[in-house]
A and B are shown apart, each in its own frame.
Chain A
Amino acid sequence: NAGVTQTPKFQVLKTGQSMTLQCAQDMNHEYMSWYRQDPGMGLRLIHYSVGAGITDQGEVPNGYNVSRSTTEDFPLRLLSAAPSQTSVYFCASSYSVGRNTIYFGEGSWLTVV
């Protein structure tokens, strides 16, 4: 049981480049989400999905796109990377939010130069 798998682990981008962070879970969870973690800021919700075909914005959605074509996958797209998007990104999944365990991936370290 792999849990939540994120790729890549590390990435360096130039300003203006685009890329996709991949996230897959094998627990048949309906709820998936993306967070970014910055020093002193904790985890901030970027986008989330409550099921295939359903996505919504979190606290800091600007500059990011998501889609949920299957229950298993929830990719995060950076359309035109900016230095302010340098961060550690975590994908997470759970049966629901609040009372159930949220399982996090190991994180993706992104640097935009």
Chain B
Amino acid sequence: TQLLEQSPQFLSIQEGENLTVYCNSSSVFSSLQWYRQEPGEGPVLLVTVVTGGEVKKLKRLTFQFGDARKDSSLHITAAQPGDTGLYLCAGGAGDYKLSFGAGTTVTVRA
């Protein structure tokens, strides 16, 4: 059973469209991270959120941590082909164990 549920599992959109990826859990996390992974490479950290209700922006990417610190979302505005990849959320509970979601595969078509 996945501690963190990501949805959708797959997302294919046209360049210029917006998209949102969700990460949900029944557990409370002290922090939540988002990673992007490209084929043949390891995941690369995009952002860490630690406060309930926190919103962080990274250029066209907006990350939100739920008020109860059980869920998070990643919104991409005007997606570009370079945004293609596997997006992973990961929750930390302060016990040295980071739990990952199964990931959302995003494909942006030119």
Contact assessment for A99 and B97 in the assembled complex, using a CB-CB cutoff below 8 Å = no
**How many chain A residues touch the partner (CB < 8 A)?**
28
What's the Cα separation between A4 and B44 when bound, in Å? 12
Contact assessment for B44 and A104 in the assembled complex, using a CB-CB cutoff below 8 Å = yes
Closest residue of chain A to B6 (Cβ to Cβ) is: A42
**How many chain B residues touch the partner (CB < 8 A)?**
28
Contact assessment for B2 and A42 in the assembled complex, using a CB-CB cutoff below 8 Å = yes
What's the Cα separation between A83 and B43 when bound, in Å? 25
Partner of A98, one of B2, B31, B103: B31
Contact assessment for B101 and A42 in the assembled complex, using a CB-CB cutoff below 8 Å = yes
What's the Cα separation between A89 and B42 when bound, in Å? 10
Say if the beta carbon of A72 comes within 8 Å of chain B: no
Identify which of B55-63, B67-75, B76-84, B88-96 touches chain A: B88-96
Contact assessment for A106 and B40 in the assembled complex, using a CB-CB cutoff below 8 Å = yes
Say if the beta carbon of A84 comes within 8 Å of chain B: no
Task: Type the 1/0 row for A87-113, where 1 means its CB is closer than 8 Å to any CB of B.
Answer: 000101000111111101111000000
Say if the beta carbon of B48 comes within 8 Å of chain A: yes
Say if the beta carbon of B28 comes within 8 Å of chain A: no
Partner of B102, one of A35, A41, A90, A97: A41
What's the Cα separation between A45 and B98 when bound, in Å? 8
Say if the beta carbon of A43 comes within 8 Å of chain B: yes
Contact assessment for A104 and B43 in the assembled complex, using a CB-CB cutoff below 8 Å = yes
Supposing A98-B31, A105-B42 touch, asked if A42 and B96 sit within 8 A by C-beta, the answer is no
What's the Cα separation between A67 and B73 when bound, in Å? 37
Taking beta carbons and an 8 Å cutoff, which residues of A are in contact with B?
Answer: 4, 31, 33, 35, 40-45, 48, 50, 56, 58-59, 90, 92, 96-102, 104-107
